Amino acid sequence: MDLAIDDLSEVTTYDHAPGDPTPTPPAAVSAAMPPPTCAPDPTATSPTVTSCAVTQTVQSQWQGGYVASLQVRDLSSIPRPAWTLRWTFPGDQRLTSLWGARSWDQTGAAVTAVGPSWAPIPAGGSVTVGFLATGTPAPLGQVTLNDVTCTTA
């Protein structure tokens, strides 16, 4: 049996006797095949994966400033030996000090804290970053851990 492809949407089979150089198509031996697809389905959506959660707790507050901590929980099954936490303040809050990270920087409302090598985040574990800030405490804007958006509380 030989196989002939007329186009990418139909396959037709031909029977012929051994030694017969010209196969003869039988009466209706063809199977329709859907055309191949290479492009992704534009209506398909990928699920949102949350691999971290951050909880802000205000320890103390006074006129013009406050002390708070961020508990960063890893919800994945992969440890994070190196980590970078980024968040935005919703108002005019300014860090004056930060602990629990190797280094930190604030540009406008955006804060970046880089984790120390001695404090990796274990899979399913957590670390805490504390800070002293000016302004009034408020819920944080977007928070990311290694550039993945975290849920916040």
Q: What is the model's pLDDT at position 97?
A: 97
Q: Which of 125, 113, 131 is nearest to 69 (CA)?
A: 131
Q: Which residues contact 123 (CB under 8 A, 6 or more apart)?
A: 74, 76, 77, 78, 79
Provide the token pair at 113: 């804290």
Q: How confident is the model at residue 20 (pLDDT cuts 50, 70, 90)?
A: low
Asked if 151 and 53 count as a contact pair (C-beta separation under 8 A), the reply is yes
Q: Which CATH class is domain 52-152?
A: mainly beta
**Per-residue pLDDT reduced to its tens digit, 84-132:** 999 999 999 999 999 999 999 999 999 999 999 888 999 999 999 999 9
| b (16+ CB within 10 A) / e for 25-46 | eeeeeeeeeeeeeeeeeeeeee
Query: pTM for the full model?
Result: 0.66
The full set of domain ranges for the chain reads 2-32, 52-152
By C-alpha distance, which of 61, 5, 13 is closest to 35?
Answer: 5
What CA–CA distance (Å, rounded) separates 97 from 109? 15
Share of the chain above pLDDT 70, in %: 67
Which pLDDT belongs to residue 153? 81
